[in-house]
Amino acid sequence: MIRPGTIIALRHGAMTLTATPHIGGSLAGWSLSTAAGPVDLFRPASDRALAGDFAPDMACFPLVPFSNRIGGGRFVFQGREVVLATDPGSPHRIHGHGWSTPWTVEAAAEDALRMGFSHRADAWPWSYRATQTLALDGEGLTVTLDLVNESGSDMPAGLGLHPYFAKSPGSIVTADVRGVWDNDDTILPSRRRPLPAAWDFRHGIVMDHAALDNGFTGWSGTATLDRPQERLRLTMIADGPVGHLIVYAPPGESYLCLEPVTHMTDALNRPQEADAGVIALPAGERLSMTVRFLVSRT
């Protein structure tokens, strides 16, 4: 039996993945062993995060049952008004429940792990069950998220992952996206526009001086991060109703986030947007997404 609070290490070949179910179902690190020493694929968790329960300083965490922000913590769904507590330091509700809820281990092997948690209706007036399955293989890492509506009515549902990729000088991001949302001062979408040249990820963007926290639309589900300095490529492939990509690249940091998500930021308050991505999940039904992170040498 795996005791609560345990950091779990998965291994396959040259790869090691560490998971912390008790810290928001998060990953603490993912690395590749090489002749020159270990190479971080995800940014490792901070000591502060490992000592407590602060998922934003982890290597990756799940977004359940919605991603990013709900403006003011308020929305109306099928005639029902919902009011959620806002997050500290923000006027909005952020990232759902999964990242701030302990998950329990349901199954574990040398190179795979399944964990889950249940939410009972409260201010979010729907009950649901979430599971996250991790598996290493010879090509990389696979993460599958499942969400089952255990309520008696439709539930607004969304899924996503928030990986913090390690970034080295000269790192290049390529992704087939079609448009971008500019943000207001509280990081809610304010204006959709075509891709400016500086953010046209279809042709590859060197991320050394990029500063973004924006949602991109029309995503094909594939993105690559090339790290020429280490002759390393990470390819992310999302399967499921995943048409949005959040790119978070704070200036001066040695990481960036490419977040595969099923809906735009503040989707629950954007019924006028045909591609907002809100899914009305019927009672007893399941929403799933799978993300593959493939590692290769260039």
What CATH code is carried by the domain that includes residue 164? 2.70.98.10
How many domains would you assign to the chain? 1
Q: pLDDT tens digits for 169-212?
A: 999 999 999 999 999 999 999 999 999 999 999 999 999 999 99
C-alpha span between 60 and 165 (Å, rounded): 9
C-alpha span between 169 and 173 (Å, rounded): 12
The pLDDT, as a whole number, for residue 249 is 97
Give the domain extent around 248: 8-297
The answer to whether residue 2 sits within a structural domain is no
The pLDDT, as a whole number, for residue 67 is 96
The answer to whether residue 185 sits within a structural domain is yes
pLDDT confidence bin for 2, thresholds 50/70/90: low
pLDDT confidence bin for 4, thresholds 50/70/90: low
pLDDT confidence bin for 289, thresholds 50/70/90: very high
- For 92-139, the three-class secondary structure string (H helix, E strand, C coil) is CEECECHHHCCCEEEEECCCEEEEEEEECCCCCCCCEEEEEEEEECCC
The pLDDT, as a whole number, for residue 109 is 97
The answer to whether residue 194 sits within a structural domain is yes
For the beta carbon of residue 191, count every other beta carbon within 10 angstroms: 9
Q: In this structure, which long-range contacts are made by residues 200-203, counting pairs with CB atoms below 8 Å and at least 24 apart in sequence?
A: 201/173, 201/174, 201/175, 201/176, 201/177, 201/247, 202/174, 202/175, 202/176, 202/177, 203/174
C-alpha span between 268 and 117 (Å, rounded): 23
Q: pLDDT tens digits for 20-40?
A: 999 999 999 999 999 889 999
The pLDDT, as a whole number, for residue 56 is 82
User: Span 52-74, mean pLDDT?
Assistant: 92
The pLDDT, as a whole number, for residue 51 is 84
- Full-model pTM: 0.96
The answer to whether residue 3 sits within a structural domain is no
The answer to whether residue 253 sits within a structural domain is yes
The answer to whether residue 87 sits within a structural domain is yes
User: Span 227-240, mean pLDDT?
Assistant: 97
The answer to whether residue 1 sits within a structural domain is no
The answer to whether residue 165 sits within a structural domain is yes
| Mean pLDDT value across the chain | 96
The pLDDT, as a whole number, for residue 53 is 61
Structure tokens, 81? 């008004």
